[in-house]
Structure 1
Amino acid sequence: LIVILFTGFLGSAAAATMSEEIEHLLGFVADSGCTFERNGSTYESKEARAHIQRKYDYIKNRVKTTEDFIRYAATESSMSGKKYHATCDGKTITSEEWLTTELRRFRQQNP
């Protein structure tokens, strides 16, 4: 019984961690002040966050890790296959690189 309870506790702790990481990344996008390019159009950071949230809500059942969240909800258009980009302080990078870097930083500060 103790093993079963302990295993269940570990499972919920992992899910909470993933949830916290995803919420952090969504907040990071919204508060970034960066512009986002998606399918040739640019969007403000709060619009980008709303789009990524809608996409995440749609594909949530496929997401098993925070890296899956980035890959499936915040990397590229599922319609055109074009990569998403973030432009911050005049520098443009893929949203995948940008969010993965932030996830690493967040994990280092929140072990």
Structure 2
Amino acid sequence: MKRTAVTVATLALALAGSAHAAPSEVARREIAGLIGALDGSNCRFQRNGSWHDAAEARAHLQRKYDYLLKKDQVDTAEQFIERAASQSSMSGKAYRIACPGQPEQTAAVWFGARLKTLRINAPATHPPR
């Protein structure tokens, strides 16, 4: 009986250590805001050498985000940018964004700037660091 209790306790600790928290409501809003910022723009999105319009890019990034959510691999907007919106998970090539009247840039830089703007415009919803 004692051995079973130790085994159960060890298993519970192992599972607790590997569990990830789901994104907070703030993180979910920020990620939705980032995806929406691209979808609502006239920017083009380059993925693996091919350019896509904003709606196609939004759909692609939403699929990647949904996949990461299922795998408990995204808890913050920064993780979304790093793990879904910066580069191809297949080729490792950086995504690029080209917007009218602006220089082409990496998607990581573009999304980082959008996240900063989202947080400036909604400071009461961002938790203190």
TM category (shorter chain) comes to: 0.7 to 0.9
Indicate whether 1:79 and 2:90 are aligned: yes
State the TM-score, normalized to the length of structure 1.
0.85
Indicate whether 1:89 and 2:85 are aligned: no
Partner in structure 1 of residue 78 of structure 2: 67
Q: Structure 1: how far apart are the matches of 2:24 and 2:75?
A: 9
CA RMSD of aligned residues (A): 1.6
Q: What runs of 5+ residues in structure 1 fail to find an aligned partner? A: 1-10
Partner in structure 2 of residue 100 of structure 1: 112
State the TM-score, normalized to the length of structure 2.
0.74
Q: Is the 8 A contact 2:42 2:100 kept in 1?
A: no
More strand by share: 1
Partner in structure 1 of residue 28 of structure 2: 19
Q: Structure 2: how far apart are the matches of 1:85 and 1:92?
A: 7
Q: Structure 1: how far apart are the matches of 2:55 and 2:42?
A: 8
Q: What runs of 5+ residues in structure 2 fail to find an aligned partner? A: 1-20, 124-129
The residue correspondences of 1:53-64 to structure 2 (distance < 5 A) are 53-60=62-69, 61-64=72-75
Q: Which 4+ stretches in 1 moved above 4 angstroms?
A: none
Deviation at residue 66 of structure 1 after TM alignment: 0.7
Q: Structure 1: how far apart are the matches of 2:120 and 2:45?
A: 26
Larger Rg belongs to = 2
1:62 counterpart SS class: coil
More helix by share: 1
Q: Structure 2: how far apart are the matches of 1:57 and 1:95?
A: 19
Q: What is the aligned-residue identity percentage?
A: 43
Q: Structure 2: how far apart are the matches of 1:32 and 1:71?
A: 21
Q: Size of the alignment, in residue pairs? A: 100
